[in-house]
Structure 1
Amino acid sequence: MSAFSLSEDLEFAFRLADAAGEAILPFFRNGTAVDNKEAAAFDPVTEADRASEAAMRRLIEQHRPGDGILGEEFDTLPSRNGRGWTLDPIDGTRGFIAGTTAWTVLIAHTRDGLPRAGVIDQPHTGERFFGDGDRAGLSHRGATRTLRVSRTTRLDQALMATTDPYLFQGAEAERFAALRPQLRLVRYGMDAYAYALLAAGGVDLVVESGLKPFDVQALIPVVTGAGGLLTDWRGGPAHAGGQVVAAATPELHAAALDILAPAARRA
């Protein structure tokens, strides 16, 4: 595999990931307190989430003045130069508080609102998945390798992942129920880590709904950089979130959309 030549934006995203990891790890598996952001549902946030995003924001404001910031835990900082950063300080907070390792830090560098580079970082395991839309790589234990998606083209040979089957409601749930039996294997509970595994060639298909921009923007350059596709359920751009499908091959993507499209919502 050829070495991955990092751009300055990815290099800076790595600095952000390092800062986030340093802020998070003292809280991991350490009985950190959990707050709920929603009265009608359980949407957890911890001090680790806030500390992670604050650490990244400090670096951006110091070294990239004028860049915008869209993050999950703090107010949006508008861009003054067309460049920005979309931050999910801990994607998979439910997994984090349970002590699993499926949570990640998501960092996207954007230009004119579109993601151009992305990092999916797991500080506890030391795995760092990254991409720029043309190539994708994994840095782990001092080694870096180029990532490529699988060549799976058929649903009955595919491994699909989603965070939770109860993400889907109404017509979405009906479409997911129609899709699930056609897959060779389905796994749950991986959050954004599933998209990293798709880029690495392990998972073939990811189907989700209800995502926010900070849930998905970092994933797009990694998945597409590894040769995969990531769109909404209509086959259009997914950087705004909502209903998302990622696939290793065009054939697998088309087969999934054939089933999911009847429940697709217009943006």
Structure 2
Amino acid sequence: MPVTRSDIDLAHRLADTAGAIIRDYFRKPAGLEIKDDRSPVTLADREAETAMRRLIEAERSGDGIIGEEHGTKEGVSGRHWVLDPIDGTHSFTAGRAIFGTLIALVEHGWPVLGVIDQPVQRERWFGVAGRPTTFNGVPVHTRLCAELEGAVLATTSPHYFGDDAALRFLALTAATSGGHNRMTPIYGGDCYNYGLVASGQIDLVCESGLKFHDFAALVPIVEGAGGRMCDWNGDPLTAQSEGHVLAIGDPARVDDVLEALHRVHDH
């Protein structure tokens, strides 16, 4: 079933609804708690997701919902709305406006619509499969990257990598820096980094341990801007993916990135 104008309008309204709640809590007491998985959550996360779910249930009762804070509701349409009300809660609680609300529409496990909304700065990337990605309504495009050395690499935190993944990330870092640490990675940013890939500001994002709600919305955005989203084996990202995620602005560099990531086991 193709993405409709009604789907697009609903996605924008979901982002508007979440954004209004999140702005009210930004740089104010937000009831920070630590969940069982040791990740942070606030009242802003929970209330924003609740409001989005109500809107979906009112207008798309047959669609399923997968939310970070309130779990999964199965539907009958083969479609799911995947919600991460605040991707980057650490940044949100620190008062840094580089977090974002993630909204995806997924059909049979494949992301077909994605939103990254930064509600404080009022910045919104919007992607639909088969259409150009927009930033605040204006089409954007990833940039060319002639070689991996010198590419701008970002990740949220090196602390999210397990031992093997950390070695692979260090190998990729060495490849982008030329082995001389001339270009250090950009740390912090969560979903915001992927928007910057789509806008041609960053060349590459490498992350591990992501869940479906962390990356579903990113796929149509990066790929609609001319980039490539895949796992660390180069396979497309779906609901079954393990959470090793790459966003590569210039698809010509995909093989170089994969070679660098796997080089650590060749020695």
Does TM, scored on the shorter chain, surpass 0.5? yes
SS at match of 2:102: strand
Which has more strand, going by share of residues? 1
Report the Cα distance in structure 2 between the residues aligned to 1:214 and 1:241, rounded to whole angstroms.
Answer: 12
Could you tell me which residue of structure 2 aligns to residue 29 of structure 1? Answer: 27
Could you tell me which residue of structure 1 aligns to residue 256 of structure 2? Answer: 255
Could you tell me which residue of structure 2 aligns to residue 159 of structure 1? Answer: 152
1:255 maps to a residue whose letter is D
Task: Tell me if 1:128 matches 2:129.
Answer: no
How far 1:153 moved relative to its partner? 3.2
Report the Cα distance in structure 1 between the residues aligned to 2:211 and 2:263, rounded to whole angstroms.
Answer: 21
Could you tell me which residue of structure 2 aligns to residue 55 of structure 1? Answer: 51
8 Å CA contact retained: 2:105, 2:114: yes
Could you tell me which residue of structure 1 aligns to residue 234 of structure 2? Answer: 235
1:187 maps to a residue whose letter is I
Is there any run of 5+ residues in structure 2 with no aligned partner, and where?
A: 177-182
Over the aligned positions, Cα root-mean-square deviation in angstroms equals: 1.8
1:91 maps to a residue whose letter is D
Report the Cα distance in structure 1 between the residues aligned to 2:33 and 2:264, rounded to whole angstroms.
Answer: 33
Could you tell me which residue of structure 2 aligns to residue 3 of structure 1? Answer: none
Report the Cα distance in structure 2 between the residues aligned to 1:238 and 1:213, rounded to whole angstroms.
Answer: 9
How far 1:251 moved relative to its partner? 2.4
SS at match of 2:185: strand
How far 1:237 moved relative to its partner? 2.0
Is there any run of 5+ residues in structure 1 with no aligned partner, and where?
A: 1-5
Report the Cα distance in structure 2 between the residues aligned to 1:113 and 1:243, rounded to whole angstroms.
Answer: 17
How far 1:185 moved relative to its partner? 4.3
Q: C-alpha deviations, 1:22-52, integer Å up to 9, x for none? A: 12111110022211002xx631000000001
SS at match of 1:157: coil
2:133 maps to a residue whose letter is A
Could you tell me which residue of structure 2 aligns to residue 80 of structure 1? Answer: 76
Report the Cα distance in structure 1 between the residues aligned to 2:242 and 2:125, rounded to whole angstroms.
Answer: 20
Q: Which moved more, 1:218-227 or 1:175-184?
A: 175-184
How far 1:126 moved relative to its partner? 0.4
Report the Cα distance in structure 2 between the residues aligned to 1:241 and 1:173, rounded to whole angstroms.
Answer: 16
How far 1:85 moved relative to its partner? 0.3
Aligned residues: 254
The runs of 4+ residues in structure 1 deviating greater than 6 Å are none
Task: Tell me if 1:71 matches 2:67.
Answer: yes
Q: C-alpha deviations, 1:139-161, integer Å up to 9, x for none? A: 1xxxx210100011311131010
Report the Cα distance in structure 2 between the residues aligned to 1:225 and 1:60, rounded to whole angstroms.
Answer: 24
Q: C-alpha deviations, 1:145-192, integer Å up to 9, x for none? A: 101000113111310100001221222111111111332442010101
Task: Tell me if 1:217 matches 2:216.
Answer: yes
Q: Which moved more, 1:23-32 or 1:48-57?
A: 23-32
Report the Cα distance in structure 2 between the residues aligned to 1:158 and 1:222, rounded to whole angstroms.
Answer: 20
1:59 maps to a residue whose letter is L
Could you tell me which residue of structure 1 aligns to residue 179 of structure 2? Answer: none
Could you tell me which residue of structure 1 aligns to residue 135 of structure 2? Answer: 138
8 Å CA contact retained: 1:131, 1:137: yes
Could you tell me which residue of structure 1 aligns to residue 194 of structure 2? Answer: 195
Q: Which moved more, 1:168-177 or 1:91-100?
A: 168-177
SS at match of 1:79: coil
8 Å CA contact retained: 1:171, 1:263: no
TM superposition score normalised by structure 2:
0.91
How far 1:76 moved relative to its partner? 0.6
SS at match of 1:206: strand
User: Residue 20 of structure 1 is aligned with which of 18, 30, 52?
Assistant: 18
Give me the identity figure in percent.
43
Q: C-alpha deviations, 1:204-262, integer Å up to 9, x for none? A: 00000000000000000000000000000011122335100110112222111112246
